[in-house]
Structure 1
Amino acid sequence: MNRKLILYMFLSVITDAFAQVGPVNNIQTPEIANLGMFGTIPVSHYTGIPDISVPLYDIKVGDYVLPVSANYHLASVKPEGQSGILGMGWNLMAGGYITRTVNCVYDELCGDDGIPHGFFSHSSKMKGITNESFAQMTKDRLRGNDFFEVVPDEFSFSFCGYSGNFYYNENGGWTVISDHDIKVEFNPADGDGFINRSRLKTRFKTTGWDVQSDNNRFFNKFTLVTPDGCRYEFGGLDATEFSIPYYARKNSPLVPTTWRLRKITTADKRVIEFKYDTSAVMCDIRYVPQYRMQYGTVQEQTNPEQNGWRGFTGFLLFPACLTSIETPNETIDFTYFKERNYGDRFYRNSKALYWQATGTLRWPTYSSNMEDPALQFFVFMDTRQYESENATRKAIADNLTHNVLHRIAITNKFSGNGRSFYFEYIENSSERIKLLSILTRTGVPALIKGQWGYELPEETSGDDMPAYHFTYDISQTMPYRYSMANTDSWGYYNGGEVRISAIPSYTTVHPSLPATRAETLSEIIYPTGGRTAFTYSLHEYSKIVSADHSAVMKTYGCAGGLRVSEINNYDEGNSLISTKKYYYSETKNGESSGISKPLPVHSVSYTAGSATLVLKSTGGFQTPVTNQNTPDVGYSCVIEETLDAGGNSLGYKKYRYSNYDMDIFGISHNDEKYSYSTASGGEAIAPYTSHSQERGKLLSEEFYDSNGVLKRKKAIRYGRTPHAAMKTAYQQEVIINYYPYDFMTCSVGWLANTLTFSYFPASVRDTVYTESGAYSSSTTYSYNYDRLLSAETMLTSNGTTRSVRYKYPSDYAGYDWMRQLHIISPVIEKRTEENGAATVETFDYQATDSQIPYISRKTTSWGGTKTMKTDFKVNAVNAYGKPTEVETDGCLNVYYWGFHGQKLFYEIKNASLAEAEACLGKEAVVSENDMRYGLDYGGIDERYTMKSSIFHIYMYDMDMRLYAEVFPDGSAIQYKYDMLERLREKYIVNPYTDRKQVLNQYDYHYK
């Protein structure tokens, strides 16, 4: 690897969203960045972010359920942030991803010479590392042809209800931080574990990529295994997203940034596959002026400002867009249109896509290489230079595309029936693209013109369902994207636009409520005609964390972003039904309970000998910290009051949360300083040990009536699981002198801890207050190393105690086969003790030939092993691990399953499987070929042939919905559904008169 590349690896690209003291080597595509908001700023009272979601569909495969929904996140509405596939603020929840933040250089970095430089090949150097050895390592080995780093990248995952982070560790494995025991599988010896550049070239045009010989190894596929044994595969060249600095493509690495979910294999070996389109090319260009001034060096700059064209920074992005989900039961297709004039808006609103003019060279903040953006514009782009700057800029703009979701089409494989969800948008010259409505329709697919004239699938016949509609606050609107809107120091709109010729101010810009509310969601109108309206306010705080993260100080102020302050619900006649008000304080009129993390830092300095380097950025500098999922402001106490239509209080709830400071149990959750640093000073931007997983935990709920009288209180205390901290390094190189070929280098490094424990409830105390006194019950909890509940002890209000202990496969040597499959969550033994008596329930597991686990027997014993009963014993299972013959109380029962073992057809009591198969046929044949779509009330011959057996029959339509039940006495109940597959009626039909007798009717309304 040549010296020039090594130094360029430390290029700093500072933006408002990704600012940090070290270099920003990659960013996520807008869709993944917006989804990441749900992890960084969770939806809860603690953050003030309301839970706004539209459930679309549940993908059901056997016992596995994968929800698909559209979710809105208030903190995603920023002028410099691009919209995802559902428009500004909205996100599609369908599958999942692994994404990473590159620290120093990407972990797997290795060139054609076979010399690895990234952490993946040098992680063992962190074993037993001392302050002295780390200092020497940072000084000597951060530069040169054989340099290496000891800084791990951070991988974050979110899929199907699981989330967390993982890191490559010093033992050559993966350390996972999550509330679930997730196993990471990556096989470097597998041909698909890594990919090389030759395979990369099948997707990318690499002409002009000067450093490609230095980049010949890339993470390609990961598999995450959840505690139930489900396997989730991510990545592959057609399901991986990449990024590269926009103005430095010739000499920068192309980084795999995100691995999308491509396959789910459930514990019973059912497969769900995800497919993606990788043809789109996006860019994220931002105007972030910087200042770099050196003193006491060979040559000091005369113009330290980097504004105008030199103030632009950004990335070229290569997304993977979900096109289909294939299950054993259905096909789900996603159809998009190209955002109208996406590239053209770059072209018209900013000349930053391309320029020829000289004089725009700039100094990367940390690198010694002068950067000439004019030489970079055609690398990884399918275009060329034209006669004029304008024509070239237009050609580049025409290559940029952004997909916007138009339709989700669901086709059942058994029936061929279809259902679709349509998404319509607001897009005009004065507003950002925003989701306007979601419509459900059933029918047969065809082709019609889409929203902007594209040929798109549509149903030729069928029924429309009333739609969800959404309105937005347009009392102010943002300048259109890429026109450089003014933002506050947190990245939210602050009114007006930036002039690139102006000298920037490197100070804190405080938020404006009217501007921050611009184009945020203000109202949802439901299919029933009712609606919900939202009112927001700015985040306020009364405390702030010190710059060095050592203390919490008393300070008042407002931070960027919004919190919900009021929610009003109206009926279809526009009459107010109820109101919820939110007070972020201990009392309704008290001071804010909010605590702000340190304010953005806009200026830093480095000193080496007599030389000083001063750096400034309008985007600010933030610290590179692992496992840092912390909102800008978190609230220790929130009051939620409910009012009726007349404005009368119906009572309120008070929620208390763990925060930076001392909580209600006297425990602090503040962060810790680094353990060692080779640098002096710079505390405001130094890495530290984050305790973010302890914050935002619900500590208590208090219920008050309309007179303010406490009626009930639930207090929750937490504890750490026994997982040791991981020592983590951070390194960077700072160039003090910029005189070409004569520069002064300052290599700096820090050591801190990454905390790996989970913070789970240790006890819950529930107290009810009455006129005669207070009555309390409590429960304590403990957990094993697999993060599973191992024991709970309940103390009732009358003084009795009940304890329950659980054992899992990890507690038994005989279940090593389950541990090998990472099936660690099934309970093997449950022991309950109460009043001196013990009851033990034991679940025995076996596996099919294809390693599908199933319960083979359940026994219950009392008084030790003196009295034991076999509750049931499974004598036979089918290919899917479903029981087909079960012995209970000496009686044999037979089960026939259909739709590939997903739905129960027959439950036959007092019969063996051999007897049933002699009459009905083989279970496997019936299950696959006889779907029992038709009804036969009491007239099936099998019931009379097997006279000593009792039949309970379940019948389904071809969409797998339960259509009817035939009971042992021959009576039957039928079921009717609406177009959203919700149960509408249960009724009996007289088989002789066809007369219908309704048993139950169900109506659905939206609150």
Structure 2
Amino acid sequence: MKKIYFQLLCLSLSGPTFAQTNPTELSNTSSLTPDMFPKTPEANGLSKFVDIPSGNYTGVATFTIPLYEIDLNGTKIPIQLSYSTKGVTVGEIATRTGLGWSLDTGASLSQQVIGTPDFIRTGTRPVIDHLTFDPIHNENDKQLAREVLDIMQGSTKPQDLQPDVYSYNIVGSGGHFIVRSNGIDGVPIPMNQDKIRRSWDYMKIYNDKGVLHNFTTDQLVQSFNSCNTNAGFEYNDPNYKIGQIITPTQHKVTYHYNEYVNSTYVTSVSSSKTISTHRSGPLPNNFGQAPETCHNYSVNKESILTKIDFPNGYIEFTYVTTLNKGDTDRKDLPGDKILKTIRVKNNAGALLRNYELNYKYVQATETYPIDRNYLKGIDYRLFLTSVEEKNSKGVYKLDYYEGSKNPTRISNDQDYWGIYNGKGNTTAIPTVRNIVGLEGFLFNFSGANKQPDLTYGVIGNLKRITYPTKGFTEIKYENDEFFKDFTLPEDYEIIDYPGYVSTDSNLNYDFDITHYFEKKISGTFNVIGRQNEPSAHGGCKIQIKNLSNNSIIFESDKYGNWSTDVNDGSYRIAIFPATMYNYECEAEFTTIEKIPKETSDTGIIGTLRVQRIQSEDAKGHTITREFTYKNPVTRKSSGKNFGESYFDPVLYDEIPFKPDEATLYTSYLQKLSITNNPGWQTSTVRGKSIGYEYVQEIYKGDGISFKKQYRFDNEHDNGYGYRPRHVIQLFWPMDGFQRGELKETIEYDASGEWVKKEIYEPDYSTELNKGLLNNNGGEAIDVGIVLKYGSKVDERPFIFDVFSVKNYWIKPLKKTTIEKLNGQEIVKEETYEYKSPPKHTYPWKISSLNSRNEKIVQETTYPLDDPSETNMSDLIEMNIHSAPVRKKTTNITKNIKLEETKSTYGKFTTKNFVLPQFVYVNKGNQPIDTSIDKEITFDAYDTYGNLTQYTVKDVTTSVIWGYKGTYPVAKIEGARISDFSATDIKAIEDAVDNATLVTKLKSLISTTSAAMITGYVYEPLKGVQQMINPNGTSVYYNYDAYGRLLNVMKEDVNGVKTTVKSNEYNYKN
């Protein structure tokens, strides 16, 4: 018999600019944003799989190259290379495995700083009642406000009032969390049963099965800003690394970091231009001025992963710094390293996997002056091109979308979402019209084209994976879309752009005439005052100059109305005295833009979604999955934009002046600037600003044609977006995390008829929330306070605003399945009930209808439900919350209890492991009687926590473990372990090699007649190599170089082997 298997491929901010701060300038513009403390390239690469989860809701797919899977006594830990199709951004830095790829070793943790890093001054965060917080009149609040704002004055340890967001991925779980103000307790968002404990140098995270993940801090990364040299900005950035994964029975995986890097790199660029100021009171010259370009950059000296130890083996990682002869360093990130080999070995040193990773550089076609150390490498990008397993000669080959142009990492050619658009921009600041200045005048700025362009946006993204079998998968992308929910204009949108120049304020004004503008400019020219001259005629002159060739196209000294024709181009209108006398004159004028009628109700943004995934095996068999994202009723896009839509680039600031240490401040500067990003929120809790309510997945292939449609929760708007011309901006990326919850799936056959529906009904509950100030049960579990200096010392020396940290337990209530069978609709319902008040997130009661339309109810309790029972408190402390204690299944229709089970736990071995001891089973309507209903007894465990003897009814089975307690090597049915010689058992446990083990097992089998013994011999880290039957014959299992089962051979009593099963492996999308 031959089975064919398929390898599955799962589809599963730059902020405000930094002003130069000096001792007399209380700059609010210097407020810290998440971009001031960026994640390292490695942390960013891993966190995107949490922040932008793959799946149809986001239109993002995840592709993996499996390297190895660690089996930690039943806990599976995959080691793999992972790629997310979220889209490559201009500023993205390649990890040590190439652009877009990450090395996933089973667990990761990263911290997104909001404000300043949590707990860098003290071990706690102040608990503030935002309803009574008063830093103006309350002295304690005023002192706290000053401590918070010490960051502006160079304090090395500022206070922080905004919780940071942590992204984590652990065995069987993952998501986001915050740390409470006590600095210890983590709270998962959304609520789950993971247990999170923080200390100053580690983070401990337990999943609900009690598996502990120890993360340690690696504070060897610092971030700086080129326009601010205050020591207050020089913090060690938060950077966590997985140290150990430990099961409840103390089976461990240990991670070693024995190499270091030393790199300096730019993380983002802030560009700004002051367009209007207003002074209130006396201020020094140049007060409030800031450079037009500032760089955020990091110095990274972190340790890097070199080895993973686990029972029976280890994995080694080696790195290089150069790819080609003549290179002296890593080109894209000087001082950092590139992962070159991954070798899996057993404890004897035998090489089981030997991967070599190959790369290439792509150089930018544009140039940028690299005059600072942190700019080195911005003109190169590192790409992973192949992964070869040397033992089997199997190769994964990787191809990417290419183009004739490639940007630097700080290119101006990027859209609003940071995706390359190839527009040839000379500035990062977008074009803006009709800015009303602080004095009431209007300003225009001709800047960057920030519109998306898919031709350039796909460059650098993964295009094709060719597998060792010679089959391949190819990905096609398209831009994310959303439905514009507004009324379209009838014909044209006509916009008047008024302008103003005068001799006592703005002497000139620059403007553009582009494609949709009328080719005429008109206005009025008047005298508003004069000095020492009775006649004003001829006292001033108005002039319009073509800036492209410096020619004057219009000039007049006559007052009144005027107009002139113009062509497309850039112009400057100026007014100035024409005589020796100083006349005060003014000119008003208007340009008119006529924008054609909007023809589409679909908006496009720069981020990417998957349009098609096509896979073909080595034999030419093809399957294609096409994705559409439309509302099935309106046929319009089902996308909704939860991010920025207007992109106002204007930044308003108020900067108080502090003349000395004793005086708070006496006057202030108001400033209006335009910037490349004043704080737009182009990403959300789901990592992308677009989410899709409906997604259709269409399958086509050899003899295959069907469709699945998904419907998701796409409500819950963000509460906090960019607020133009506000001094305070609120940023909380976790608002609306309920989006993306699956609500319905529908399967269609080849004719387009639906054949199956599944409907999911969740509730977003706050019952498990513990809020601030003992305000439990509400949706807010914390608050963040953004605090700045106010502009009026007598009225508001401080101003602040508040955002809520909301949390929910996503609680399933009902699942309905409807299937069509012979023209009839078969409806099945499953409902979920929870204890009140709930103690955990698991359902207590699940009700369903069986095939005979009878109502079946299953009731389950867990350790948290009965903490007083024996050893339950130990399970709770270990965070083993998901272990069922009691289960009862009842046929409600017939009023019959079908089965009830109860599990109890005991303490075993010298390590006091809390492990299952008895299982009681009862059928019928009587309650469990522990004296007669005992079904299973777990009699004994070894020091590794492995079960060595159990009894079902009156039949005892014993188990001998070998390979240092990692594999069961003998199953003895009908005898107790004490019935055998301890010396014989020890010889089997400590067998030095497989040949010795086979000899010892056969000897035990041949000398035992009172019990039935089956022996097992392993190829460590692969699987069972030989099974020895009770009659002495064997079954042999053979594997390929990847550790996959190739065939099974059976031996008869004469020693003749025949193949009874063989497997062939291909790749399925």
Give the TM-score taking structure 1 as reference length: 0.78
Cα distance, 1:499 vs. partner?
3.6
CA 1:906–1:281 in structure 2 vs 1: closer, same or farther (change >3 Å)?
Answer: same
Distance 2:305 2:718 in 1: 38
Residue 593 of structure 1 aligns with an amino acid whose one-letter code is: S
Partner of residue 556, structure 1: 602
Cα distance, 1:121 vs. partner?
3.4
Cα distance, 1:314 vs. partner?
2.9
Distance 1:515 1:956 in 2: 52
Partner of residue 414, structure 2: 487
Partner of residue 596, structure 1: 641
Distance 1:857 1:6 in 2: 72
Residues 1:686 and 2:730 aligned together: yes
Distance 2:949 2:313 in 1: 29
1:391-446 C-alpha deviation (Å, 9 max, x unpaired)? xxxxxx9xx4122111111111046334211111122435732111111123xxxx
Partner of residue 832, structure 1: 889
Cα distance, 1:139 vs. partner?
5.4
SS in 1 for 2:747: strand
Distance 1:411 1:348 in 2: 32
Residue 265 of structure 1 aligns with an amino acid whose one-letter code is: I
Residues 1:728 and 2:783 aligned together: yes
Does the aligned pair in 2 maintain the 1:479–1:497 contact within 8 Å?
no
Which structure has more helix as a fraction of its residues?
Answer: 1
Partner of residue 64, structure 1: 75
Indicate the structure whose relative CO is greater, using CA pairs within 8 Å and at least 6 residues apart: 2
SS in 2 for 1:229: coil
Does the aligned pair in 2 maintain the 1:291–1:305 contact within 8 Å?
no
Cα distance, 1:702 vs. partner?
0.5
SS in 2 for 1:186: strand
Distance 2:108 2:24 in 1: 31
1:467-497 C-alpha deviation (Å, 9 max, x unpaired)? 1111111134422445x25100100001155
Distance 2:763 2:711 in 1: 17
SS in 1 for 2:807: coil
SS in 1 for 2:99: coil
Residues 1:108 and 2:119 aligned together: yes
Residues 1:466 and 2:394 aligned together: yes
Does the aligned pair in 2 maintain the 1:593–1:637 contact within 8 Å?
yes
Distance 1:998 1:175 in 2: 54
Residues 1:143 and 2:146 aligned together: yes
CA 1:513–1:587 in structure 2 vs 1: closer, same or farther (change >3 Å)?
Answer: same
What pairs up with 1:225-264 in 2 under 5 angstroms? 225-237=206-218, 241-245=221-225, 248=228, 251=231, 252-264=233-245
Cα distance, 1:96 vs. partner?
2.9
Distance 1:846 1:228 in 2: 17
Distance 1:798 1:602 in 2: 64
Residues 1:755 and 2:819 aligned together: no
Does the aligned pair in 1 maintain the 2:261–2:336 contact within 8 Å?
no
Cα distance, 1:535 vs. partner?
1.1
Of 367, 370, 382, the residue aligned with 1:433 is 382
Residue 487 of structure 1 aligns with an amino acid whose one-letter code is: Q
Partner of residue 180, structure 1: 192
Residues 1:951 and 2:998 aligned together: no
CA 1:477–1:181 in structure 2 vs 1: closer, same or farther (change >3 Å)?
Answer: farther
1:26-84 C-alpha deviation (Å, 9 max, x unpaired)? 11111111222222221111111123221111022222221011111122511211111
Partner of residue 893, structure 1: 957
Distance 2:428 2:207 in 1: 53
Partner of residue 458, structure 1: none
Partner of residue 554, structure 2: none
Residue-pair matches, total: 856
Residue 731 of structure 1 aligns with an amino acid whose one-letter code is: V
CA 1:753–1:981 in structure 2 vs 1: closer, same or farther (change >3 Å)?
Answer: same
What pairs up with 1:690-701 in 2 under 5 angstroms? 690-701=734-745
Partner of residue 80, structure 1: 91
Of 610, 628, 642, the residue aligned with 2:699 is 642
Cα distance, 1:23 vs. partner?
6.8
Identity of counterpart residues, as a percentage?
A: 18
Distance 2:267 2:323 in 1: 18
Residues 1:986 and 2:1054 aligned together: no
Residue 971 of structure 2 aligns with an amino acid whose one-letter code is: E
Residue 491 of structure 1 aligns with an amino acid whose one-letter code is: G
Residue 45 of structure 1 aligns with an amino acid whose one-letter code is: N
Partner of residue 677, structure 2: 619
Distance 1:299 1:346 in 2: 49
SS in 1 for 2:980: helix
User: If you compute each CA radius of gyration, which structure gives the higher value, 1 or 2?
Assistant: 2
CA 1:830–1:542 in structure 2 vs 1: closer, same or farther (change >3 Å)?
Answer: same
CA 1:328–1:282 in structure 2 vs 1: closer, same or farther (change >3 Å)?
Answer: farther
What pairs up with 1:13-32 in 2 under 5 angstroms? 22=33, 24-32=35-43
Cα distance, 1:639 vs. partner?
0.7
SS in 2 for 1:109: coil
SS in 2 for 1:1006: strand
Distance 1:240 1:166 in 2: 23
Of 482, 485, 494, the residue aligned with 1:541 is 482
Partner of residue 131, structure 2: 130
Gaps of 5+ in 1: 14-19, 111-115, 188-218, 350-396, 443-463, 547-553, 661-668
Partner of residue 714, structure 2: 659
Cα distance, 1:734 vs. partner?
5.1
CA 1:649–1:65 in structure 2 vs 1: closer, same or farther (change >3 Å)?
Answer: closer
Does the aligned pair in 2 maintain the 1:294–1:736 contact within 8 Å?
no
Cα distance, 1:620 vs. partner?
3.9
Residues 1:565 and 2:611 aligned together: yes
Residue 859 of structure 1 aligns with an amino acid whose one-letter code is: Y
Distance 1:104 1:332 in 2: 39
SS in 2 for 1:714: strand
Cα distance, 1:567 vs. partner?
1.7
Cα distance, 1:703 vs. partner?
0.8
Cα distance, 1:765 vs. partner?
0.6
Residue 603 of structure 1 aligns with an amino acid whose one-letter code is: V
CA 1:889–1:701 in structure 2 vs 1: closer, same or farther (change >3 Å)?
Answer: same
1:531-584 C-alpha deviation (Å, 9 max, x unpaired)? 1111111111004799xxxxxxx96311111111112222336x4622221111
Of 121, 131, 138, the residue aligned with 2:124 is 121
Distance 1:6 1:700 in 2: 59
SS in 1 for 2:1005: helix
Does the aligned pair in 2 maintain the 1:329–1:412 contact within 8 Å?
yes
SS in 2 for 1:181: coil
Residue 695 of structure 1 aligns with an amino acid whose one-letter code is: R
Partner of residue 454, structure 1: none
SS in 1 for 2:50: helix
Residues 1:709 and 2:742 aligned together: no
Cα distance, 1:888 vs. partner?
1.9
Partner of residue 460, structure 2: 519
Distance 2:142 2:937 in 1: 66
Residue 995 of structure 1 aligns with an amino acid whose one-letter code is: V
Residue 881 of structure 1 aligns with an amino acid whose one-letter code is: G
CA 1:473–1:921 in structure 2 vs 1: closer, same or farther (change >3 Å)?
Answer: closer
CA 1:752–1:712 in structure 2 vs 1: closer, same or farther (change >3 Å)?
Answer: same
Partner of residue 209, structure 1: none
Distance 1:899 1:6 in 2: 67
Give the TM-score taking structure 2 as reference length: 0.73
Distance 1:58 1:348 in 2: 33
SS in 2 for 1:256: coil
Residues 1:859 and 2:920 aligned together: yes
User: Is the deviation greater in 726-735 or in 832-841?
Assistant: 726-735
What pairs up with 1:315-354 in 2 under 5 angstroms? 315-338=298-321
Residue 757 of structure 2 aligns with an amino acid whose one-letter code is: K
CA 1:93–1:302 in structure 2 vs 1: closer, same or farther (change >3 Å)?
Answer: same
Cα distance, 1:302 vs. partner?
7.9
SS in 2 for 1:486: coil
User: Is the deviation greater in 466-475 or in 950-959?
Assistant: 950-959
Does the aligned pair in 2 maintain the 1:407–1:422 contact within 8 Å?
yes
User: Is the deviation greater in 26-35 or in 138-147?
Assistant: 138-147
Computed over aligned residues only, the root mean square deviation of the Cα atoms, in angstroms, reads 3.9
